[in-house]
Structure 1
């Protein structure tokens, strides 16, 4: 069966080139990248970036080749809310398509869907730790099937070398990140530009984040009167509760 673009190129036996077929792959790739942007959670809930990529790859052979062979597109669209609704085979295929590209991960909501793939999600983070670029995860109060300590152990590791943004909101077990022995990223994250952690006990006097630009924490964190450790930080937000 001829693909969609091929059908558009013929009309009464006369070749017709649709305007989009005149775009080179660099421009097409950028359009696909913009369509698969996860920055707005409102948009992401309605039109998951992963679903957009999947539909785009079904338009024609050329588009499929460009999308499937672009690891950075898939690596930048890892919405685990959406992946939790899919079969394990599809999740593994999405991970395969990310190749070795830096990973951008998002999951949020006051629901239990993510816990359906809790082990897969945690194993994914552990296996791909050094590729993390942007992490934005929110566990609401209804996410109760937590294994105490397992997430805290994961984030006690040194951060990924290129981790730029880490947003982690946790409501399910407040004690999970309040152990006296817990320290986020072993208190050192030199590449981090944005840090937002709610319901996590941090000692800001010990935390080394020399390139941080934005900080959001809960009031329970051990703060200091002056933020001399955050000389480059343009925005500091302290919340009383989540």
Structure 2
């Protein structure tokens, strides 16, 4: 009995369970933060006791997933890098972090180049940001060093499953091979390569394209080329489209693209490009859309109700309404910015890791067919909390449109906002008085203090808002 009492509960855990627990520490390393790096956590676990250390040191798979460039190459020597490589044995490798060849004489950079060339066939996951030229002169020596660094992209990648490269290259045609991975990457499912310096041409005809499950299209790719590429990706689950180049959707003559497995699409760009892509995609019903338009300067919209904008909203409705019917949100965020763009999302809803986001052109809100669809449907019937910390000027420019959005939340119980927003709404008392009939709690971010008697700020707007509701 005495011996049993002295045994810690953690001592009875099976070795296989402990190994899986330690392996789990390495599972989320695509964007490692500086405060919680997997290699640091694994090292600390190895110092707990001899038994744990024995399990960790004996697992080449654990160490193969800890090739953390930002951590290992920040050391004064490359001893730790060599130690991690030695402990990985012949295991598959996860290589991630950032590189910066500002000093091509640094022996650590030479080691990294050599390591990647020699072990490329073992790399299963790679996520690297190359900062070499950011804020620096593009000398010929640095260009040659960078070219040597990425030479492995010309070689077959027999074990590669996931690659995310963010580069800063000049003359990318010389550095990026026309036939990436020698057209041999049979296991690749997640693909993202972007170049901040110039457009990167997506390899639309590569043999491994039909196997992709997650893809990111970055700057400079024409919309028609995106659509052509999507036609060859029937297994696609996750799609991200960032700042796509010329729309030219009319150049695409193909049929509607059916993506039966698509679960999430993230789009950042302009309304017209979003419309061109969304009109031509048919996803699954249980699919989440995120559209973010941050800049509307120069958009070719004429009068409210523009046909081009209406086509955008019709395309968004086709994508977002089925999702909202399956996943009615309980909390929604509404934000309008100084670029005449409004955003509606359920970001922060703890019930669902995915979140939808829709962008609107603010001047058209009061005639928005999509807002009317929301008001006439039950998709927001379970929303109990609404947050809005928008620029007051946006509310001033289109109060009827903003109120029409808020009318969709008839079951709202908690409204979190700022005084300037309420002040704008109070200028439409007839519409504001009927808002949120089930409201219980009004939460004001950074509430204003009362001003001098006789001034506009004598009574804070939230007090006037409550008085207006009390009179109804």
User: Normalised by the size of structure 1, how large is the TM-score?
Assistant: 0.80
Q: 1:46 to 1:40 in 2, by over 3 A?
A: farther
Deviation at 1:203, TM superposition (A): 4.6
Partner of residue 89, structure 1: 79
Are 2:67 and 1:78 equivalent residues in the alignment? yes
* Equivalent-residue separation in structure 2 for 1:66 and 1:88 (angstroms): 25
Q: Which stretch of structure 1 is more off in the superposition, 91-100 or 141-150?
A: 141-150
1:19-34 equivalence runs, <5 A: 19-34=9-24
Look at both structures and tell me which one has the larger radius of gyration over its CA atoms: 2
Partner of residue 120, structure 1: 111
1:202-213 equivalence runs, <5 A: 202-209=201-208, 210-213=210-213
* Equivalent-residue separation in structure 1 for 2:63 and 2:218 (angstroms): 33
Deviation at 1:221, TM superposition (A): 4.4
* Equivalent-residue separation in structure 1 for 2:21 and 2:232 (angstroms): 40
Query: Is 1:81–1:113's contact at 8 Å kept on the other side of the alignment?
Result: no
Q: Which stretch of structure 1 is more off in the superposition, 107-116 or 199-208?
A: 107-116
Query: Is 2:187–2:211's contact at 8 Å kept on the other side of the alignment?
Result: yes
Are 2:45 and 1:56 equivalent residues in the alignment? yes
Are 2:130 and 1:133 equivalent residues in the alignment? no
Deviation at 1:175, TM superposition (A): 2.0
Unmatched segments (≥5 aa) in structure 1: 1-10
Deviation at 1:156, TM superposition (A): 1.4
Which of residues 235, 238, 242 is equivalent to 1:239? Answer: 242
* Equivalent-residue separation in structure 1 for 2:69 and 2:96 (angstroms): 6
Higher relative contact order structure (alpha carbons within 8 Å, sequence separation ≥ 6) = 1
* Equivalent-residue separation in structure 1 for 2:119 and 2:176 (angstroms): 27
1:1-242 equivalence runs, <5 A: 16-39=6-29, 41=31, 44-86=33-75, 87-108=77-98, 116=106, 117-140=108-131, 141-142=133-134, 145-146=142-143, 147-159=145-157, 161-171=158-168, 173-177=169-173, 182-199=178-195, 201-209=200-208, 210-221=210-221, 223=225, 225-226=227-228, 227-240=230-243
Query: Is 2:69–2:99's contact at 8 Å kept on the other side of the alignment?
Result: no
Q: 1:118 to 1:137 in 2, by over 3 A?
A: same
User: 1:34-90, CA deviations, whole angstroms, 9 ceiling, x for partnerless residues?
Assistant: 234333635x42122112222222222211111100111111122110001223222
Q: 1:114 to 1:19 in 2, by over 3 A?
A: farther
Count of residues in correspondence between the two structures: 228
Deviation at 1:21, TM superposition (A): 0.8
Q: 1:34 to 1:225 in 2, by over 3 A?
A: closer
Unmatched segments (≥5 aa) in structure 2: 137-141, 245-472
* Equivalent-residue separation in structure 1 for 2:104 and 2:50 (angstroms): 33
Secondary structure of residue in 2 paired with 1:166? strand
Query: Is 2:153–2:176's contact at 8 Å kept on the other side of the alignment?
Result: no
* Equivalent-residue separation in structure 2 for 1:37 and 1:180 (angstroms): 29
User: 1:143-164, CA deviations, whole angstroms, 9 ceiling, x for partnerless residues?
Assistant: 85452422342211111x1211
* Equivalent-residue separation in structure 1 for 2:36 and 2:101 (angstroms): 19
User: Normalised by the size of structure 2, how large is the TM-score?
Assistant: 0.43
